[in-house]
Amino acid sequence: MKLTLQQLKVFATIARHGNLGGAAGELCLSKGAVSQSLQELERQLATPLFDRVHPRLQLNNEGRLLQPAAEKAAAYSRHLYDIAAATGAEVSKTAEAQFAELQKSFMGAVDAAVKNAPAGTENAVALVKSAVAAANNAYESVHKAAKQAAEVAESNFTAMTSTAVKAT
């Protein structure tokens, strides 16, 4: 038997809403996906977890036994995500600082080489400086776009998590 965190989240959300539609909306899944996940969980446990009183789903005794563990697992996964996000932000900040320092050192080396360059190499030196500036600009653009995408994804996840917590 292999229960997944997703199955436990689906179960806990259905238990809170009492129906598949509300759970599907909160989880941003289709009603069919929620139903399939619940069916698989019940199949793996070899027992129904809800009494089907159309259109409601009411926890039965087995479901009431599972609900606290499922809620704890969902809360634990949210907590782990928060830790991972904070760690990722710190690693990113450290990497950015190291990259900025490396970039500064490299530009210092280029400037020192320019000062010691033989006469008549001004065009080559200008070309090297231009290439370095273009590479830096490209890196900054890609880095900024990636950072914005990560922030949007994190804010969407945070909004979804807060919606789930409010529904609890």
Kindly give the confidence (pLDDT) of every residue in the chain, 168 residues in length, as a single tens digit, with 9 standing for 90 and above: 788 889 999 999 999 999 999 999 999 999 999 999 999 999 999 999 999 988 899 999 999 999 999 999 988 888 998 899 899 889 988 988 998 898 888 888 878 877 887 877 778 878 888 888 888 888 889 888 888 888 888 777 777 766 655 554
In our burial notation (b when 16+ CB lie closer than 10 A, e otherwise), range 76-99 reads: eebeeeeeeeeeeeeeeeeeeeee
For residues 24 and 30, is the Cβ–Cβ distance under 8 A? yes
The rounded distance, in Å, linking the Cα atoms of 52 and 36 is 15
Which is it for the CA torsion 56, 57, 58, 60, positive or negative? positive
The rounded distance, in Å, linking the Cα atoms of 143 and 140 is 5
Helices assigned H by DSSP within 28-121:
31-45, 61-115
71 SS3 class = helix
52 SS3 class = strand
59 SS3 class = strand
Task: Return the structure tokens found at 90.
Answer: 């710190």
Which is it for the CA torsion 30, 32, 34, 37, positive or negative? negative
The rounded distance, in Å, linking the Cα atoms of 14 and 56 is 10
pTM (predicted TM-score): 0.59
Which is it for the CA torsion 110, 111, 117, 120, positive or negative? positive
